[in-house]
Structure 1
Amino acid sequence: MTQSRTALVVGGGAAGNAVTVLLRRAGIAVDLVEAKDDWNATAGSGITLQGNALRVLRELGVWEQVKASGCGFDAVGITAPDGTVLHEQSDLRTGGDDLPATVGMQRPRLQQILIDAVRASGASVRLGTRAESLDQDAQGVSVRFSDGTTGRYDVVIAADGIGSATRAAIGITDKPEPTGMAIWRIAAPRPAGVTRTDLAYGGPAYIAGYCPTSDTTLYAYVVEANRDRASIPPETYADEMRRLTSAYGGFWPEITAHITDPAQVNYTWFDRMLVEGSWHRGRVVLAGDAAHCCPPTLAQGAAMSLEDALVLAELLTGAEQWDDALFQAYYDRRIPRVRAVVEASVQIGQWQLDGVRDADVPGLMARTMPLLKEAP
């Protein structure tokens, strides 16, 4: 491996930031372009990171910052809509026994930690910039950018998210499809006594849950059947979410009291997608949400993206030839694990949509989660 090799990373989310740091560590020159002018303009209030995600963050060298910024816990509570705790389930430590099972944290804080790591890596970063055209040959990819500049790279890593323009540009026609569910999210102060994720099933929503994200904060969410987004004016978001959460007891009245600003409420449909066959065309390769997405019913979206980055960087930095065989090996290594997560995540939601009262959710999780304890 020579240090003269170059990579373009398209997209500055979890996958793009992680692969940038890992490639720079190996001495590879990396340009990262991000379409947003504000790199940390991330939608969503919080994120749940399970152990296998934490394992990658430790490899990136940012685990101590994540630990200091978030809230770790090792169990999930199942409650009735009135707040009565019905069951407490210990979570599997998928990242190993030396890491918590789960860390909740504010999503913008995680993004900032990764941004700082990218900056420290020495990568070249351009914000408000898109890769507008890709012209490939056997030796590399010529790229024209939205600012009129051009570049030549040995590999282009498309980590530009669920609506990836790069995916479409290289002829992969897969697109995300709605699953039929949607989620309302908000950040709020953390009530005293909240020490883990609690989930309530039933009531006016399929799921009402919250996750502590620091010593003083949490994010709360309710999941319902998706609605026509055009029919919900953004100025009513707080009213809509408060209408749903007001039916729940326990810590919910205290949380609901803080659902007042519609600008702080995020409404998103659940989507699913899994690109099959390969995640590359020539020297352009997909990573993260550009290759796969699923509902957060297993809280594995960020983990799968971070694992993609880890595996792809490992293969790129360990190979003499960057060719079809390498990129196919990346897909072959990732697809069984990602498929298991996507299918299980979608199935859990479908059971709720179909009203299956005897659905074997614990059994499905017991079959899926141990797979994630193995190294990706």
Structure 2
Amino acid sequence: MSTPRTVLVVGGGAAGNAVTILLRRAGLTVDLVEAKDDWNATAGSGITLQGNALRVLRELGVWEQVEASGFGFGSVGITTPDGTVLHVQDDLRTGGDDLPATVGMQRPRLQQILIEAVRASGASVRLGTTAEILDQDADGVHVRLSDGSEHRYDLVVAADGLGSATRAAIGITDKPEPTGMAIWRIAAPRPAGLTRTDLAYGGPAHIAGYCPTGETTPYAYVVEANRDRAGIPPASYADEMRGLTRHYGGHWPDITEHITDPAKVNYTWFDRLLVEGSWHRGRVVLVGDAAHCCPPTLAQGAALSLEDAWVLAQMLTGSDVWDDALFQAYYERRIARVRPVVAASVQIGQWQLDGVRDADLPGLMGRTMTMLRELP
């Protein structure tokens, strides 16, 4: 590049961490600010990473740590609520034949791996810090941080999640909308023989599933119609989840036995978001959940966010001119891939809510995952 470049990354989740690592590798000066003091290091239970996510993690240089920390597998079982296996489907290797189809791992461990990689990259990191866009021109952005300091950057990457304050601040009015579903999640000891994801459709919940996340742990989840959060006190979370899971067979009885601590149970509504038209305003550009999100029915949320970071970093480091044309090209490259995944993920959930029994679930999943095998 002909001139030094400075970038502010707002948000230290998967997308923000990934774009920071990649831009630092290319020699750019990167500051990362994260609103939470703990850098989300303990948030969440488990995560299912499809091959296209693993492909980006390998590009980040952290695949070996992910492989050692998680549990790789290559199939998914479809069961009745009582645990009877109806079908076992081999997963498509969307990251290529040299990577597992799927890796389950504990979400805090993935975050810790990415945190360590950001630290090693030499990026400047400020935790417990937010950023306010003061103004911008054709060449850069003037920013005030919550510590009172003011800075000018060539680019701001908004990776501050579903409720992105940066998205709203630059005049993008899109907001996440509930899909009508909610999920209960917990990490638990792994029963012997749990070596893949099994999904049960039906019973007291729409979906009940579990995924191995290591040699000793899985994470387990049940999906139901969303309810008023105000009517579910956090102290009742374990009782609420156990009330659903006790009706399921397979490995569920062993898992249910460990659903006792409400503090270890997570309850979240499913949301959808897809910003259309462009993902930038001037020199501020969106990545990850700030631009799009979908229910985890295809386990593609983190994967799409990581892909955003990879594609944006490629385009930024491959061009001497950072302008509207470049940022619009980034949007157009990503929207063609993200839109069908969001639509498919929402559709799968809607079929469940509507009780559609003859839905072409295998066909929709197969078409979507085949597309994701192509490079982003």
Query: TM over 0.5, yes or no?
Result: yes
SS in 2 for 1:189: coil
| 1:323 aligned partner | 323
| Residues 270-289 of structure 1: CA deviation (Å, up to 9, x unaligned) | 00010000000000000000
Structure 1 residue 44 displacement after superposition: 2.0
| 2:35 aligned partner | 35
| 2:353 aligned partner | 353
Letter in structure 2 aligned against 1:165? A
Map 1:254-269 → 2, pairs under 5 A:
254-269=254-269
Structure 1 residue 367 displacement after superposition: 1.3
CA distance in structure 2 between the aligned counterparts of 1:374 and 1:16, rounded to whole angstroms: 23
| 2:78 aligned partner | 78
| 1:16 aligned partner | 16
CA distance in structure 2 between the aligned counterparts of 1:90 and 1:301, rounded to whole angstroms: 21
C-alpha contact (below 8 Å) 1:3/1:29 kept by paired residues: no
| 1:273 aligned partner | 273
C-alpha contact (below 8 Å) 2:234/2:262 kept by paired residues: yes
| 2:107 aligned partner | 107
TM-score by length of 2: 0.99
C-alpha contact (below 8 Å) 2:133/2:141 kept by paired residues: no
| Residues 52-102 of structure 1: CA deviation (Å, up to 9, x unaligned) | 000000000000000000000000001111111110000000000000000
Is 1:51 equivalent to 2:51 in the alignment? yes
| Residues 188-229 of structure 1: CA deviation (Å, up to 9, x unaligned) | 000000000000111100000000000000000000000000
TM-score by length of 1: 0.99
| Residues 231-257 of structure 1: CA deviation (Å, up to 9, x unaligned) | 000000000000000000111010000
Number of residue pairs aligned between Structure 1 and Structure 2: 376
Structure 1 residue 132 displacement after superposition: 2.2
CA distance in structure 1 between the aligned counterparts of 2:270 and 2:352, rounded to whole angstroms: 13
Choose 52-61 or 3-12, whichever is displaced more. 3-12
Map 1:208-219 → 2, pairs under 5 A:
208-219=208-219
Change (3 A) 1:24 1:3: farther
| 2:149 aligned partner | 149
| 2:199 aligned partner | 199
Change (3 A) 1:95 1:257: same
Letter in structure 2 aligned against 1:324? D
| 1:234 aligned partner | 234
SS in 2 for 1:7: strand
C-alpha contact (below 8 Å) 1:43/1:266 kept by paired residues: no
| 1:179 aligned partner | 179
Letter in structure 1 aligned against 2:227? R
C-alpha contact (below 8 Å) 2:41/2:112 kept by paired residues: no
C-alpha contact (below 8 Å) 1:83/1:200 kept by paired residues: yes
C-alpha contact (below 8 Å) 1:3/1:27 kept by paired residues: no
Letter in structure 1 aligned against 2:102? T
Structure 2: which 5+ runs fail to align? none
| Residues 122-144 of structure 1: CA deviation (Å, up to 9, x unaligned) | 00000000002331011100100
CA distance in structure 1 between the aligned counterparts of 2:41 and 2:203, rounded to whole angstroms: 33
Structure 1: which 5+ runs fail to align? none
Map 1:300-319 → 2, pairs under 5 A:
300-319=300-319
SS in 2 for 1:205: coil
| 1:222 aligned partner | 222
C-alpha contact (below 8 Å) 2:56/2:306 kept by paired residues: yes
SS in 1 for 2:160: coil
Map 1:337-376 → 2, pairs under 5 A:
337-376=337-376
C-alpha contact (below 8 Å) 1:73/1:102 kept by paired residues: yes
